[in-house]
Chains A and B, each alone.
Chain A
Amino acid sequence: MKRLYKIFQTLLSTYYAYMLEYRAELLLWALSGCLPIILMGVWTQAAQGGAFALTSAQFARYFLAIFLCRQLTVVWVIWEFEREIVEGKLAFRLLQPLDPVWHHVWSHIGERFARLPFIAVIIGLFILLYPSAFWIPDAGTSALFILVSICAFALQFLIQYTFAMFAFWTEKASAIQELWFLFHLFLSGSIAPLEVFPPGVRQVVEFLPFPYILHFPASILTGLPVDYLRSFLIMGIWAGIFYAINRYLWRKGLKQFSGMGA
């Protein structure tokens, strides 16, 4: 346990330092996730003219929260993993007495910290744009939000890492991810809160993993009604399913894998 703690601490500080090298690139990445800010404009404008489930200010808050959640849950493990397989680098990682997944996990977490200053800037911009919509969630809500965001990140990571396993068999596993991302984009609540979906669609979507990665934490932060028990349950079930598939494919894939020198 103590050994693991030491390893994780080292990995985190290494990857954090590594990510700081790419600050300009990180800024661009974060900027390219500006879709929620664009949609914020359309929906706040629409809410002033039409009858929607949320008010203009609620829309503004919701999309700021979505922006935050996207920054916190973004995952790119499949592209890294694919490269390691294609270039045979996984072979070296396998020699280490540590599951290679931890390198990816900690590089993601390290990157999150490098992103924080940028997130602060965007929040500042939000206050300038919509001063009346600005709100400060209380401590309990914030704590819950952070907890759920961590779970959401874990689920998102688990899903993508499971798709990454297909890299053992095909050179283009990331194509699966790209198709999946489309569903994620439209069903996770990032183009619009589920509250404005047609009720039938919403009921189906709520059983899928998508809304729990963005809509669920965003709803907590903005104070929209949430069914905690059911949400956690569905999240847990999906995490379990993907974990099982992931470990199964990992074992199968390793037998398949023949990197340089392996």
Chain B
Amino acid sequence: MNFKLNHLGKYFQLIRLFWSTAIAAELEYRMNFIFSALTSLGGLAGSLFGLFLFYGQGYHFQGWSWEEALIVVGIFTFLKGFSTAFLAANLNRIVKHVEKGTLDFVLLKPISSQFWLSFHSMSLWGLPDMLFGLFIVLYAGSKLELSWLSYLSGLIPILFGATILYSLWFILGATSIWFTKIYNITEVLKGLMDAGRFPMVAYPVSYQVFFTFIVPVAFLTTVPAEALLGRVNPAWVMGSGGLAIALLWFSNQFWRFALRFYTSASS
């Protein structure tokens, strides 16, 4: 991203314009929004039921009480909403642009193409999940009597988690330059992200290794939850930050590299 500081204002203004158009377009389908809120509520109820199946029988994940495990579910739900609101609508479109050859129009614009592709749209459909997730975290947090400082220290790794998720999504989206028709590649990512419903200790060691070092799901929900609970090893948060920055940088480099292979519809 060729950000220059004096351009920052321009980019913010662009985001505002992009999103207000996107929201206006979606408000045409108000019934759908109610439907998606219902679906989110149902999804949350299901997640809680899934967790209850373990805790209802006296079993608990090692070192995680019911409320503590709820925080993981809350963060998971929030991130799910985040990806619906900000990632899915935008990054799945990369595939469409490549397939139809309209990526040219994006590349010709006088702003960073990664920026354009990443922020062009946003979807209100993700908001219910984000709100419900937040609600669960606050509810469990009040039961555990967390201070505002705890919430604050949870915020940072969540930001890292969101960045990691964005970067992975963008990298996968960028591979469409070669594979063209891969609408479902992000579904795979979504499917793997489902592992974030539970804290990592709930999994056998082989799974833990996979979800930490190969698909870094652990950094999306477990690390932020532990930071929120004030018992994380600072090395994990730093690792999370390092990974976020590295992946963000890599996504940009990867995008530039991929563009070299892009042959548009007319060239």
Contact = CB atoms under 8 A, between A and B. Distances in A.
Interface string A143-185: 0000000000000000000000000000010010011001101
A21 B194 CA distance: 29
B227 to A, nearest CB: 22
Given A35-B194, A45-B203, A45-B204, A198 B56 contact: yes
A98 interface: no
B57 A50 contact: yes
A179 B35 contact: yes
A179 B39 contact: yes
Given A38-B194, A42-B202, A29 B42 contact: no
Q: How large is the interface on A (under 10, 10 to 19, 20 to 34, 35 or more residues)?
A: 20 to 34
Of all A-B residue pairs in the complex, the 6 with the closest CB atoms, nearest first, are A50-B59, A32-B187, A186-B46, A28-B184, A32-B191, A182-B42
Given A32-B190, A41-B207, A45-B204, A197 B53 contact: yes
A179 B194 contact: no
- Chain B contact surface mostly: helix
Interface stretch (B2-10, B111-119, B151-159, B175-183): B175-183
Contacts of B35: 172, 175, 178-179
A44 interface: yes
Interface string B29-51: 10010011011001101100110
B49 A25 contact: no
Query: Chain B interface: which size bin?
Result: 35 or more
Interface of A: 22, 24-25, 28-29, 31-35, 38, 41-42, 44-46, 49-52, 129, 172, 175, 178-179, 182-183, 185-186, 191-192, 196-198
B58 interface: yes
15 contacts: A22-B181, A24-B182, A25-B184, A34-B188, A34-B191, A38-B192, A41-B202, A42-B202, A45-B204, A50-B58, A51-B57, A52-B57, A175-B32, A191-B46, A191-B53
Nearest to B59: A50
B198 A25 contact: no
B202 A46 contact: yes
Contacts of A45: 202-204
B50 A25 contact: no
Contacts of B59: 46, 49-52
Interface in B82-108: none
Interface in B179-232: 179, 181-185, 187-188, 190-192, 194-195, 198, 202-204, 206-207
B38 A28 contact: no
A193 to B, nearest CB: 10
A28 B182 CA distance: 8
A183 B192 contact: no
Nearest to A44: B204
